[in-house]
Structure 1
Amino acid sequence: MVLRRLSFWLALAGILLTIATLWGARIKPAPPPPMEAPPQNPYAVTLAAAGIIEAVNENVRIAPPVSGLVIKIFVKVADHVEKGDPLFQLDDRELRAQLQTKTDSLPSAAARIAEQEIRLRDVQDQLNRLQSVTDRRAVSEDDVQRKWHEAEGAKRALIRARADLHLAKTERDEAQTMLNRLTVRAPRAGTILQVNIRAGEYAMVNAQEPLILLGDTETLQVRADIDEVNAPLVMPGSPAVAYLKGFTDKAIPLTFNRIEPYIVPKRSLTGDNRERVDTRVLQVIYGFEKPAFPVYVGQQVDVYIERSGNPVGPQGGTRLNPHQDHNPVGGESEEAKEPQA
């Protein structure tokens, strides 16, 4: 009897606990306020995009002319280099040995020329003496003819010796050129943005990442990725503004530069979990003056491009853009929103 009563009260307590748990689950805590207010749309009708800051001349991915062992690095990150300055050195011991061999062969080739010149003068002198004899009974015609052929052969040998010397010089110059290629130099002036190779590592021609990344950090631009669905909405000359990620008070006015008329797969990822990675984008280039706050090459920004209005449909009416309420992560357009707390 006691066990029955105890079982009854335990079951009742379990039911009450379950009801209380379910009732408490209905009460959702208020979401915490955002750490930073989202950027405000500055235009009435806007085309939003994800952008990235890059050098005006675009970054140069430095790669070696041939695969080889790196023996010396001449630069470090943030160094400014001029055109032709050395960046890194590949192992050149084999080519230096070849160059030395080619160089050492030049005196021998020059000596053969001197020998052929002496022989030619000797044979030519003998021929002249034979031809100067007027009495054909003293010198036969066959002797003169053989000496003439010998002189012609000496001339040809001299020509061949001179050609051999020229070839030896050409091979030496080729070895010198191949040797110079192993010192990789800056193709233009700029700032070293990345150094991804160290002395002692093996440099590959088709490496996934550049050994050295060179860019011009003095003059920057923004490359905005517009979803291909919204590509017809982009108008040349449209003004725009960019905001740094996480800083809604740091706006950068943009000036239209150009539209690259080729849709490409999206490569610049923002890291948002809602982002589409299988989309294709139209890239719009905007220039800007350096702001008072620091900006860096490779930094991501939210770009808002002013749009005059929605496109006109076939009947003359206004066609609504089905993506206008999306956020700038995917590059879709959006209408102006009320300031958020």
Structure 2
Amino acid sequence: GVAVALLAMLVGRTMLSGPAFEARAEDKAAASKMSGDGTNDPRDPLPEGALVAGNGRVEPRGREVRVAANAAGRVAIVHVREGQRVKAGDVLVELETSAEAAALRSARAELDSARAELARTKEGLRPEEVASLEAQADAARARAELAARDADRAKQLLSQGAIAGEEADRAAREAEAADALRRSARAQADAAKSGSRSQDIAAARSRVQAASARAEEVSAQLERLRVLAPYDAEILQVKFRTSEFFDPRNGEPLLVLGDTSQLHVRMDVDERDVGKVRLGAAAFVTAEAFAGKRFRGKVIEIGRQMGRKNVRTDEPTERVDTRVLEVLVELESAKELVPGMRVTSYVEGGAGGMVVAGGR
């Protein structure tokens, strides 16, 4: 019995010490990187020494700006492409403006007509001028009637589903503009017939003021359909293409731009390492796309409130419940980097070692 027991113990020790039960070197290394709860701790020392890791992302100075129009409409022209630099005030995108442009032409014509009417009212008109104004009024009436019929037809087609609502709306606006011209022409002809009186001059002056206000209103509406660059920047992303319909209520911008003349890295620093970071500390970042290259910079801003991670590594062992503090690093020269790129950022620590923030 004793011999059997000794034999069993020898066999067991041989099996446990065999290749199938020996821990691999990489398993030991992985185990050394595990925290107490079995997850990878990005703060573990890197080969260089007392370093810890977090997350970082490249962004333009002033962050990215989402640019949108103030009105809905179909995209007519996209004047820029991604990567293009623009100046403040440059036209970036124009939405469909045919109806608004027609309304503006109508409003300006009405204003010109009102001004001319005021001038004629003040000085009186010759018989041939009165006849001409009457003819103009008749022509304006004919155009208004035609536009009204077109609008009615468009309304019927819309009810049948034959055309889009935008086309019906455009026809209605054009009919309204034509009717405004008709009324203006009729008023001019009537004023010419009645002769010049003080009350006629006052009325003509009022029509000039009303027409001017209308022209300004339509001009403002037209400007809302033209999207301008708010400042000198680079186009980072074009979200809409020609003929696509844009609606600001959906929350999607027409394009995204940013000032890439100066790039920053926004880092997530673990709350346990906040005391090691100092304003003005030297820093450098590395990116997988540029192996072995360091992009140098310095800390220009340290956040004042802890929060959740801004950038994830997407690794299965990453802890997402870690609280972090945002630290902003200004890069000296980083033309190769692009906004949105994840990087690893090394910042000189104030309490020994360095603090590392990265997205690998």
Same topology, TM > 0.5? yes
**Structure 2 residue 87 is matched with structure 1 residue 85:** no
Instruction: Give the unaligned 5+ runs of structure 1.
Output: 1-19, 120-152, 311-323, 332-341
Residue among 114, 124, 144 paired with 1:109: 114
Instruction: Describe the superposition over 1:57-76 as per-residue Cα deviations: whole angstroms up to 9, x where unpaired.
Output: 32221212212111221111
Number of aligned residue pairs: 259
SS, match of residue 248 in structure 2: coil
The residue aligned with 1:58 is 63
One-letter identity of the residue aligned with 1:87? L
- What is the aligned partner in structure 1 of residue 170 from structure 2? none
Q: Give the drift of 1:305.
A: 2.2
Structure 1 partner of 2:329: 286
Whole-angstrom CA distance in 1 between matches of 2:122 and 2:337: 71
- Equivalent-residue separation in structure 1 for 2:90 and 2:343 (angstroms): 33
Counterpart-to-counterpart distance in 2, 1:236 and 1:41: 25
Q: Contact (CA 8 Å) 2:285, 2:296: kept in 1 or not?
A: yes
SS in 2 for 1:217: strand
Aligned partners of 1:228 and 1:280 also within 8 Å = yes
- After superposition, the Cα gap between the structure-2 partners of 1:286 and 1:76, relative to the gap in structure 1 and judged at 3 Å, is same
Query: 1:67 pairs with 64, 72, 88, which one?
Result: 72
For 2:339, the equivalent position in structure 1 comes to 297
The equivalent of 1:99 in structure 2 is 104
Indicate whether 1:26 and 2:69 are aligned: no
Structure-2-length-normalised TM-score: 0.60
Question: How far apart are residue 230 of structure 1 and its match?
Answer: 4.3
Measured in 2, the distance between the counterparts of 1:65 and 1:288 equals 35
Residue 226 of structure 1 pairs with residue 269 of structure 2:
yes
Deviations along 1:304-327, whole A, 9 cap, x unmatched? Answer: 2222228xxxxxxxxxxxxx9x98
* SS, match of residue 118 in structure 2: helix
1:127-166 correspondence runs (5 A): 154-155=197-198, 157-166=200-209
* Deviation of the 1:95 alpha carbon: 1.0
**Partners of 1:217 and 1:278 in 2: how far apart?**
32
Residue pair 1:239, 1:255 contacting (<8 A) in 2 also: yes
Using a 3 Å threshold, how does the CA distance of structure 1 residues 159 and 268 change in structure 2: closer, same or farther? farther
Please report the RMSD computed on the Cα atoms of aligned residues, expressed in angstroms. 3.8
Report 1:151-190 matches (<5 A): 154-155=197-198, 157-190=200-233
Q: Distance in 2 between matches of 1:163 and 1:280?
A: 66
Q: In 1, distance between residues paired with 2:280 and 2:47? A: 19
Give the greater-gyration-radius structure (CA).
Answer: 1
Q: Which runs of 5+ in 2 are unaligned?
A: 1-14, 30-43, 125-195
Equivalence for 2:38? none
Could you tell me how far 1:187 is from its partner in structure 2? 1.5
Structure 1: how far apart are the matches of 2:265 and 2:229?
24
Q: Compute the displacement of 1:279 (Å).
A: 5.0
Structure 1: which amino acid aligns with 2:260? T
Residue 210 in 1 paired to residue 205 in 2?
Answer: no
Q: Which amino acid aligns with 1:50?
A: N
Q: Please identify, of 253-262 and 169-178, the stretch whose mean Cα deviation from structure 2 is larger.
A: 253-262
Aligned to 2:240: 197
Instruction: Specify the code of the residue in structure 1 equivalent to 2:218.
Output: A
Distance in 1 separating the partners of 2:123 and 2:305: 70
Counterpart in the other structure of 1:140: none
Give the Cα–Cα distance (whole angstroms) in 1 for the partners of residues 261 and 359 of structure 2.
29
Letter in 2 for 1:299: M
- Cα 1:267–1:68 shift into 2, 3 Å: farther
Letter in 1 for 2:222: L
1:275 to 289, 310, 318: 318
Report the Cα distance in structure 2 between the residues aligned to 1:330 and 1:39, rounded to whole angstroms. Answer: 16
Specify which structure has the higher proportion of helix.
2
Matches of 1:232 and 1:256 in 2, distance apart? 14
Q: Which residue of 2 aligns with 1:253?
A: 296
CA apart distance, 1:213: 1.7
C-alpha spacing 1:205/1:108, structure 2 compared with 1 (3 Å): same
Provide TM-score, normalisation by structure 1: 0.63
Structure 1 distance, partners of 2:246, 2:64, is: 20
TM-superposed deviation, 1:116: 4.5
SS of alignment partner, residue 59 of structure 1: strand
Conserved 8 A contact 1:48-1:305: no
Partner SS state of residue 65, structure 1: coil
**Residue deviations 1:43-68 (CA, integer Å, cap 9, x gap):** x6545431111212322212122121
